[in-house]
Amino acid sequence: MKKPNDNTEKLQKVLANFGHGSRREIEAMIVAKKISVDGKIATLGDRIDIRNQPKIRINGNVITVRPKDKDVCRVLAYYKPEGEICSKTDPNGRATVFTNLPKVKNSRWINIGRLDINTSGLLLFTTDGELANRLMHPRNEVEREYVVRVFGQVTDAQIFQLKKGIQLEDGPAAFKSIKSQGGEGLNKWFNVTITEGRNREVRRMWEAVGVQVSRLLRVRYGNISLPKWLSRGTWTELDLNAVNYLRELVHLSTEEKSFLSVEQQKSKPKRIQAKRPIVNLKSNKR
């Protein structure tokens, strides 16, 4: 337990908050001995006080973790097209989701979860590492809704199995909800909801019951919906109401101001509708 007047934080939490990966990813790097603090190889459980300006290296590269004034929390909704990957760079030269995002000063965009290269739809980005980590953590059970096109007939028994739960290689999984949306011929459409964000989870669940997914689109994260007017490869910035909805969802303090101008805020609804998707966003195309 953290002691009173203890200004240290776990190393993985600090690095995650500065956008150097998720806590799990950073823990894996610590175990692999890829991180050092003041010349010593880091170990799990290490704590640091950033006011002391420790010299941290990741893969031999020095990173900056100096204290700074609190920035306004920003969140973007991005319409990821198929063919883009959720990494900042790719040795194979593939397009990444970060290419079309706006530049930020003294900060960086952190993706809230991932979508695989063949999946399109809503991908959220934030400048707040703690918000990103909490929204991704399974214990918070934040809903993710997908539209799925599958090939072939789907039986009632398969639907029941997907609702009840199936065993994947990384543990049990089940859809929180699954609704048929019809279709033509052998192409059938479904809306499904999950509360975790494991790698290719939706595809693997369908495959586990012998069904092939031919298209996958994420349309909602929490109560933030993919705006119908947003084009593939473009983004929109969430307003203060939407940002605070996400923060309250994972028990973080609310923000008092937004990066968006007062003029932009005036046309926005003033209250969050807790049971309805939030689509009161303004597009910024690039």
Find where tokens 């609804």 sit: 269
Alpha-carbon gap, residue 206 to 227, rounded angstroms: 26
CA neighbor of 224 nearest in space, from 264, 276, 267, 177: 276
Q: Cα–Cα–Cα angle for 121, 265, 256, nearest 5°? A: 95
Tokens representing 88 are 């900042």
Which run of H or E residues covers position 162? helix 156-164
To the query of whether residue 69 is one of the catalytic residues in this protein, the response is no
- How many CB atoms are closer than 10 A to CB 27? 18
Which run of H or E residues covers position 173? strand 171-173
Q: Write down the catalytic residue from 116, 128, 156, 239.
A: 116
159 in helix, strand or coil? helix
> Which residues are marked as active site?
116
